[in-house]
Amino acid sequence: MHLPTKRWCGRCAGDAYRYVGLELAMNARPVILLAAGALLVAPVARSGHEQPVYPSYYPHEIEVRSITPGQAADLLRSSKLHAYIGPTPPPFVTPPPEFIGSIQSLSSFVVVEVSPLLVSKDQPAACKVAQMVVRDLTEKPSNLIFHPYPVTPLHGDYLHHADLADAAKMRLRDPVAGEPAVRNPKVIWSSRTAKILALPESLPQGMEWDAIVHVIDAAGLIASNSVVINDWRNPPWTRSGWFYAYHLLADRSSPDQRVLSLSGRLHRGDHDSPVERINLERDLVRALTASCRMTVAGYTVKREYFNTEFSAGIENIGFDALEGLLSPIFVRTVKLKDFPWNGWLQLGVGQPPAAAWNPIGGFTDDFGRLMWFAVGDAAAIPSPYDQAWMLNRFSEVEQTPRPSPKE
């Protein structure tokens, strides 16, 4: 499918207009070219004169390609790719050169699920099994970061939960008290879990089990519980740690009445002050982690790579602690070194397009989301180091303080 492409030029003869440039080439290697005019309302530029102020550092063309991690490693080394966005990092055969930079962000949660039969029969025994499995996972060399609490240091509101997270670590590190009810618990996991955590082959899924180890994708956890209407991406609380905790634990068990009541109050905004809201969030996470049915063992991070070579690379890399480079802040801050105000940005994603694209809610795959971040014009975007949101275009800043009422 090919759509006519128009280039936006702020220095061309006559008045400059806003053009929406979009070219789609749907083939074995899907490519999208985006003209920056889709995002900018250019001021008037008269013939023969440059604009005194350029609207932004936004490239006038962005190319998004679906490529494999192996191809990404070669293209990054040869400076033919500016950044590779995806959960699977490029497999560099030798250490990458100094001009290849990287960022880390939240990738997945590791959760231990204890057999419901064991939980209903003997709750203390179920807790001992969960503790034994978590301790065993942390003793193995893997990508797991031990953090037995659903709100991680990568969440913007982690400081509201830091003491509870430390207490959870102390409980899991203590030796198992008493004689364990199950000396050698039968633990199973998927092949994907084995690959991520460097575990041996899993036991057959059909056999009886005492515990299952899950690796749950953090981005998919929120994407499946979000609403996108008229480019308002999510409810405002989807950046909060309690929201991650709720869908990580409550969706996989039967939440009790207290959990439902607390989450309902948070969704309705049924609180009178920020202090009361924070206490509700803490109480909700405490209620979610009270049972040993689902126990968080920790989390993993993903590493994404980009090219910083002078002058073929990029700089001013903005990223999100939860979403990495697959976030609106990246395409709105990244700057080409070759051209201070325009140029061609080359991006790669690890998966080909798979979703039905439409502005209402169809840009759900990585390819479509990145494209929509570039051409969409949301009023607010996620704040990269906070659980809140920030204005996309501008904010009101007072140059002089307001006079006091007495004056």
Q: What are 32's strand-pairing partners?
A: 24, 64
The CA distances from residue 4 to 22, 23, 63, 292, in Å, are 7, 7, 16, 58
Residues 180 and 81 in one domain: no
Question: Positive or negative CA dihedral for 143, 366, 310, 80?
Answer: positive
Alpha carbon 272 to its chain's center = 30
Rg (CA), the chain: 25
Residue 33 pLDDT class (50, 70, 90 cuts): low
pLDDT at 237: 84
**40 has a pLDDT exceeding 60:** no
Q: What is the CATH number of the domain that holds 264?
A: 3.10.105
Residues 115 and 175 in one domain: yes
The answer to whether the predicted template modeling score (pTM) of the entire model surpasses 0.75 is yes
| 402 falls within a domain | no
- pLDDT tens-digit readout, 281-336: 999 999 999 888 899 999 999 999 999 998 899 988 999 999 899 988 898 888 88
| End-of-domain residue from the set 300, 332, 349 | 300
| 168 falls within a domain | yes
**356 has a pLDDT exceeding 90:** no
Least-confidence region, from 66-70, 108-112, 199-203: 199-203
Q: What percent of the chain has pLDDT over 90?
A: 32
> Do the strands 83-85 and 187-189 form a parallel or antiparallel pair, or are they unpaired?
unpaired
The CA distances from residue 8 to 44, 192, 383, in Å, are 13, 45, 29
Residues 171 and 284 in one domain: yes
- Residue 33 tokens read as 């070219």
Residues 89 and 175 in one domain: no
Residue ranges with strand state E in 120-210: 145-146, 187-189
| 15 falls within a domain | no
pLDDT, average across residues 208-235:
74
Please tell me whether residue 102 adopts helix, strand or coil conformation: strand
pLDDT at 175: 62
Residues 386 and 321 in one domain: yes
Least-confidence region, from 160-174, 260-274, 372-386: 372-386
Residue 172 pLDDT class (50, 70, 90 cuts): confident
| End-of-domain residue from the set 266, 300, 334 | 300
Residues 285 and 347 in one domain: no
Residues 143 and 69 in one domain: no
Write down the residue that tokens 């001009």 correspond to: 99
Number of domains in the chain: 2
Residues 148 and 265 in one domain: yes
Residue 184 pLDDT class (50, 70, 90 cuts): confident
pLDDT at 122: 81
Residues 65 and 184 in one domain: no
Residues 185 and 292 in one domain: yes
| End-of-domain residue from the set 243, 278, 300 | 300
Please tell me whether residue 47 adopts helix, strand or coil conformation: coil
| 93 falls within a domain | yes
Residues 250 and 133 in one domain: yes
Residue 179 pLDDT class (50, 70, 90 cuts): low
**8 Å CB contact between 67 and 90:** no
**8 Å CB contact between 89 and 306:** no
Domain that holds residue 352: 22-99+308-391
Q: Which letter, b or e, does each residue of 192-227 get, where b requires 16 or more Cβ atoms within 10 Å of its Cβ?
A: ebeebbebeebeeeeeebbbbbbbbbbbebbeeeee
| 124 falls within a domain | yes
| 397 falls within a domain | no
- What is d(CA 132, CA 177) in angstroms, rounded to the nearest whole number? 11
Residues 76 and 137 in one domain: no
Task: Find the helix or strand (DSSP H, E) in which 193 lies.
Answer: helix 191-197
Least-confidence region, from 14-23, 249-258, 286-295, 351-360: 14-23
- What is d(CA 45, CA 42) in angstroms, rounded to the nearest whole number? 8
pLDDT at 196: 82
**8 Å CB contact between 88 and 300:** no
Give the mean pLDDT of the chain: 78
| 11 falls within a domain | no
pLDDT at 304: 94
Which of 41-55, 83-97, 156-170, 179-193 ranks highest by mean pLDDT?
156-170
| 1 falls within a domain | no
